Structure 1
Amino acid sequence: MKISYECGACFLRQTREAMDLATDDDDLKMEIMNDVFKFLSQTFKKGTNSNKIGSYIHNLIKEKTGCYDPYINEKKLGNEIALKYLPTAQKILDDDDSLENRVKIAIVGNILDFGAFTLDDDIESFIKDSLQKDLTIKDIENFENSLNKHDEVLYLVDNTGEIVFDKLLLSKIKEYGINITIAVKSFPILNDACMEDAIAAGLDEYGEIVEIGAGTVGYVDSEISDEFREIFNRHEFIISKGMGNYEGLTEIDLSNKDIYFLLCAKCGTISRDIGVNLHDMLLLNK
C-alpha cells in the first residue's frame, strides 16, 4: 500500500514514542529526529510504500540507541490485556461457538497495536466495545469454503497480545484437518510477535512456527529470507493478520493466492484504501 499525507504525522509520532521508550538521552533524540527528517525529505513522496519507510525508521532508532527491543514492556502489557479479556471472548464462544465469532475475536485482538494507537489510548475500552460489534466485511462463507478446500495454510501473525486471541481461531482451523504454518518476525519491531513470543503464548500447539527472516513493519517482500519465500510461494491459502501485513502484501502479485485479511481499520489511509470506516473490523478475501 502507498503512503498518504496522513502517514507523515504517524511516522513522526512513532519516532517520538519509540525514542522515548529506547533512551533518555535528549541529545541523541534530537540527532535521531534530524536523521528521520532528512530521510523523510528524500523518501516521503507519492507512490512510496508505507512499510519500507516505517521499517527504516524503527530500525534506525534501534541502531542509534542500542536498544534492541524498545517495545518490550508494551508487548508484555499487550499480553496482560489479552489474557484479561480472554475469558470474555471465551464466554462469547460458550454462547455461540461459530466460525464467525472465532474470526471476530481474532480481529478484536488486532486492536493491540502500538503502531496505530498512542500509548495513552484506552485500548481496553476499544477491545471491550469491539467484542460487541459485527464485522463490516465478512467473507465468512468463502472462508469456510477455503478451510474445507485446502490441506495447508500459512498464518501470518501480527502483534503480541493479539496472538493470545489468535489461538481461538487456530484451534478452530485445526478442526478442519489443515496443517498450519505460523509466521513470525525474526527480529523485534514495534510490538510484533517474534518466535519467543509465539512459543510463550502456546502457538506451537497449533502448527509449525517459522520466521520471515526480517524485522520489518508488516510484510516487506524485498526483506524476507529465501527460506521464507519458499514457504510463502508454496502456500496457496494464506491468512494475514493486521494492517502492516495488508499494506505489504497488497504491493505484490497475489493472483495465485487464496488470501484473507483479518484486521481492524485503525487509520484513515487503510480505511479509504479498503472502503470502510475507521475502526471497522473485516474478514476480506482479496
Structure 2
Amino acid sequence: MKTILITGATSGFGLAIAKKFYAQGYNLILTGRRKERFAEIESILTELGEGKIHFLHFDVRNNEAVKQAVNQIPADLANSLSILVNNAGLALGRSTIDAGVTEDWDAMMDTNVKGLLYVSKAVIPLLQNNGGGQIVNIASIAGKEVYPGGNVYCASKHAVDALSRAMRIDLLKDNIAVSNIAPGAADTEFSLVRFKGDAQTAKDVYKGYTPLFAEDIADAVEFVCNRPRHVNIDDLLIMPRAQANATIFKKEEN
C-alpha cells in the first residue's frame, strides 16, 4: 500500500486531497498546526477507507520541528511513501506595498516559500530511498500574474512556481516527478484567513460566480499523480470558468 504525505491537511485543499487518496487505498501522513482538528478528521476519513492515518503536528515555518516530525514517521509509512503534496500556504491582507504589514509578509514568505523548502528537504530523502516518487506543489494564479494588493503573496507564489521548475531539474536523476498546480479563485478558508476572520468580506470574494472548490483541486492532484510512469504534468493552471485571469471575472448580478 502506497503512502502520501500532505501538508496543511486540516482543511481546504489538503483535506480534500486526503479524502481522495484515502478512498483509493493510500496510507496518509497528514500535517497541520491545528491539532484539535485531528480527531474529527480521522473520524471522517475512516468512513472512506482502511489504510493507516498518521498525523504530524507542527508548523512548516519551524525547520527543526519539521525535521523532528519527519524523523518520527513510522518505518512502514516512510518506506512506502511515494507522494509529497506541499499544500500548506496562506495569504494575509490586501494592502498596497507601502501600507504592508511586515508581520504578514513574514508569515507568507515563511509559510509559502521557506515552509515548502523545509518540508521538501526533509521528505526528499525518503522518496530517494524508495526509488522515486512524486512531489506536487500547490501554487496559485498569483504565481503567474500580479494584481493590486497581491504584492508579497504574489511574490511567494512566483517563488513556488520557480521552485517547482528547479526541483523538476534537480530531482530528475532520482526518478522524482515534480508538478506545479496553480488554482484560481477557490472557495475554501483561504479568503477567511486572508481577511483575518472577516466572514462577510471573505464571502463577497465569491459573489456572483461559481468558484473552484477544494474537490476540484483534489481531482487535479489525483490526475497528476496517476499518469503513466513515462508522463509528467509539469504545470497545471486551473481556473473557474467565470475567471479569465487574476482580476477579470464574469459575475452575475443578484
Give the TM-score taking structure 1 as reference length.
0.28
Q: Give the helix-richer structure, 1 or 2.
A: 1
Give the TM-score taking structure 2 as reference length.
0.31
